[in-house]
Amino acid sequence: MVPSENPLLDNLRIEPTPGATTLVIFGASGDLTRRKLLPALYSLSRGQRLPARFAVVGVARTATSDEQFRQQFHDSLQEFAKVDARSDEVVRSLQAQMYFVAGELDDPGLYARLAARLKEIGSEGVLYYLAIPPGVYGTVAEGLEKAGLAGTPEDGWRRLIVEKPFGTDLASAQSLNAQLHRHFTEDQIFRIDHYLGKETVQNLLVLRFANGMFEPIWNRRYIDHVQITAAETVGVERRASYYEGAGALRDMVQNHLMQLLSLVAMEPPTEFTASSVRDRKMDALLAVQPVVGGDEPPAVVRAQYREGWVAGAEVPAYRTEPGVAPDSKTETFVALRLKLDSWRWAGVPFYLRSGKRLPKRTTEIAIQFHRPPLQIFKRVSPTPLASDLLVINVQPDEGISLRFNAKIPGTRMQVAPVMMNFGYGTSFQGEVPEAYETLPLDAMLGDPTLFARHDFVEASWALITPINELWQKESGVPPTYQAGDWGPPEADALIAKDGRRWRTL
Ligand code: BG6
């Protein structure tokens, strides 16, 4: 961020830098590394956020020299960096500290070679980034420990970042946690949920707990319901081999939307520390009632996109996308209602929806307040007035808007809703860092606040797994929606049953 006009804002930017660190990327020739991690390292370095002594060791199966890895870094920046990074001093200085170790993940020789490299580099801290499928997390954790690379009190710190998907159901998530915990302690493990790295998501904590005016009204007395939407215009892209076994519920709701829900629903932490924040988020998640198995039919709808039009282009049906089974039942849209059993939220439904090939890319949290108890403007405004609404725009127009009613200027008393808007782009200068910049840096600093804890991940799977199991048992085809529509009519019916509507976005 460049200095702003406002000295108060500059004072807030006391940014710690980690001590000497080596980042070891497992899966160094994969997509995530090329698209996200390497460009993020470049941005961090440009912003002088990386340690003065910093090295990168790429690990992958294919034999690759240090020089070739440095070239791959260069190429990835050409394709994916936010700025033109061709002849940059920053690129050259990072390249000079990049190394490669090749080998099979189950070969002890790989870890011995890695150990030798790390010794040569001699950093105080080592961050292992597992940009590899979850099926081999255990193998790598074990390999590292056996080679003495998981950390001893004499070493500096050793930490592990793991990517999503963290399991496919409760049992597999528990097993992954157990495998990791065999070789690393929980405080060494950083589970990525990239939504937590988004500025707007972090700002939820600030909005709620750095202001005095929201918290008193943040409860059942004032709030009617909450809607959380994560809508995408893209389809399955080239990810069918993963997505076919996942679907919208597991891909988006189990992780990202549950994180958003917990940040909205949590009690105030007593201090801004990882344990206090994560404990309160956990309490909120534990208050969510099971969707399946209660007295009522499960309030959840799934659907799959048919062919249609999105952003002026004709797009194919999910079932005809490359790699998708022609009789696939995988859902590309999900909508559900959650109830929280807590003093704060009893009787306040949380409606969640997420889907691909929807009309607009937008992620938002809408807090819908109750109408005033008395409609004194009934005579001048015969249709019910809009209720107050606070919208947190997570993306793409990052900001917050408040809708309330105002008098229309004129000699008559007429009322209409108006908006008060805060936009990041207008209130703050400089670039907003991406999640893949914020999160690895936090891991280097040893701050797990924005990472998913083992119990959170498991509690979330405990809610999601029975829904999936129910769907697996269902014969028949899931409902469909035309690409470019806001999901199937069943999703509208789900919320209409409660006398409410989805927000039109
Ligand atoms: C990922 C999902 O976790 O999040 C993708 O696997 C999805 O399917 C993506 O497209 C959405 O992230 P964002 O940051 O674009 O909202």
Write out pLDDT tens, residues 143-166. Answer: 999 999 998 777 889 999 999 999
SS (H, E, C) 83-140: CCCCCCHHHHHHHCCEEEEECCCCCHHHHHHHHHHHHHHCCCEEEEEECCCHHHHHHH
Cite the active site residues.
256
Helix axes of 258-265 and 454-473: crossing angle, nearest 10 degrees: 120
251 lines ligand 1 (CB under 6 A): yes
Out of 237, 241, 244, 252, mutate this one to test ligand 1's pocket (max ligand atoms within 8 Å of CB): namely 252
- Rounded-to-integer distance, Cα 393 and Cα 230, Å: 10
Q: How close is the Cα of 301 to the center of ligand 1, in Å?
A: 20
pLDDT in tens, 202-211: 999 999 999 9
- Mean pLDDT of the chain, nearest integer: 93
Contact at 8 Å (CB) between 363 and 239? Answer: no
- Rounded-to-integer distance, Cα 212 and Cα 369, Å: 18
Q: How close is the Cα of 189 to the center of ligand 1, in Å?
A: 22
> What is the residue whose two structure tokens read 């954790």?
141
Q: Which two tokens stand for residue 400?
A: 């917050």
Out of 194, 354, 356, 397, mutate this one to test ligand 1's pocket (max ligand atoms within 8 Å of CB): namely 194
User: What pLDDT is recorded for position 11?
Assistant: 47
364 lines ligand 1 (CB under 6 A): no
- Bridging pattern class, strands 189-191 and 350-355: unpaired
Which residue has its alpha carbon closest to ligand 1 atom 8? 251
pLDDT at 347 over 80: yes
Contact at 8 Å (CB) between 365 and 402? Answer: no
pLDDT in tens, 214-243: 999 999 999 999 999 999 999 999 999 999
Closest CA to 161 of 195, 121, 134: 134
Residues in CB range of 221: below 8 A, 6 or more apart: none
Q: How close is the Cα of 313 to the center of ligand 1, in Å?
A: 21
Which residue has its alpha carbon closest to ligand 1 atom 15? 232
Strand partners, 57: 24, 99
Q: How confident is the model at residue 86 (pLDDT cuts 50, 70, 90)?
A: low
- Rounded-to-integer distance, Cα 498 and Cα 223, Å: 15
pLDDT in tens, 291-346: 998 888 999 999 999 999 999 999 999 999 999 999 999 999 999 999 999 999 99
User: What pLDDT is recorded for position 368?
Assistant: 98
Mean pLDDT in residue range 48-61: 95
pLDDT at 10 over 60: no
Mean pLDDT in residue range 279-285: 98
